Amino acid sequence: MRIAVFSDIHGNLEALKEILKDIEKEDIDEIICLGDVIGIGPQSKECLNLIINNNIKFILGNHELAYLFGTSIDYNIEEKDRNHYKYIASTLGELERKFLEKCPLYIDFKFGNNKFKFMHFLIKDKSLKYPYHSLNLLTTLKDCLGDVVKKIDADYIFVGHEHTGFDLEFDNKKLYGVGSSGCIKRNITSYTIIDIKAEITILRKVITYNKKKLEEALIKEDYPERNNLANRYFNIDLD
């Protein structure tokens, strides 16, 4: 069995299209997106529709949760960013909302003796509207990370949220941060292939995409915080 996994597309339609095109060349049985397909980039609705139309298994990210339940669920959202979230919400319709309302916080999967868990980020309390641990768990609180991972009932854990990606192990539990496939500063993107046979192989596949078309979409779609976000997440200067 082969599973393709990606996360944090963030409105970068060109990157998403190239990922799905490349996946078609691989012998993939299942595609899973770990959330945050909306926000930041210029084409959130188009990206989410592509997920829906391709029947991709989708896990809610913090941007989707903020859309469903409001920005007050996440104290990390600054006041100046709230208009951006409101704009993204205004571009989505009933189809997108109904789809997201049915999406889970995580997906569990078992193959042989190995258990796999897919989620946007490590979950602290699934009953909360914002259920995730802080990203500080990977930095200032990293001494606590192992204790959190050891409590998860899975051998292989895949998360997004942290854009650069990582690969860690705690007591034979493997934690993979697949990184962002959309918030990238060069004309490359990537996704992860999990090859499950007698042995399990994890491959990060890097491909190119048309960054010029992303820039054109940013120029065309003016929205709150666009210039700042374009520079910060895509290295595109619109000023």
Q: What are the tokens at 194?
A: 């999990």
| Mean of pLDDT over the chain | 96
The pLDDT of residue 112 is 86
The pLDDT of residue 49 is 98
| Whether domain 2-234 has CATH 3.60.21.10 | yes
> What are the tens digits of pLDDT across the range 106-163?
999 998 889 999 999 999 999 999 999 999 999 988 899 999 999 999 999 999 999 9
The pLDDT of residue 239 is 82
The confidence band for 198, taking pLDDT boundaries of 50, 70 and 90, is: confident
> What are the tens digits of pLDDT across the range 80-97?
899 999 999 999 999 999
Per-domain residue ranges for the chain? 2-234
What type of residue sits at position 239?
D
% of the chain surpassing 70 pLDDT: 100
What type of residue sits at position 155?
D
Q: What are the tokens at 99?
A: 């789809």
- CA 57 distance to own-chain centroid: 12
> What are the tens digits of pLDDT across the range 39-67?
999 999 999 999 999 999 999 999 999 99
Q: Quick one: average pLDDT of 219-224?
A: 95
The 8-class DSSP code of residue 132 comes to B
Task: Give the burial string for 44-81 (b: 16+ CB within 10 Å, else e).
Answer: bbbbbbbbbeeebbbbbbbbbbbbeeebeebeebeeeb
Q: With 90 as the cut, is the pLDDT of residue 79 above it?
A: no
The confidence band for 216, taking pLDDT boundaries of 50, 70 and 90, is: very high
Rounded distance, CA 120 to CA 152, Å?
14
Q: pTM for the complete prediction?
A: 0.96
Rounded distance, CA 216 to CA 34, Å?
26
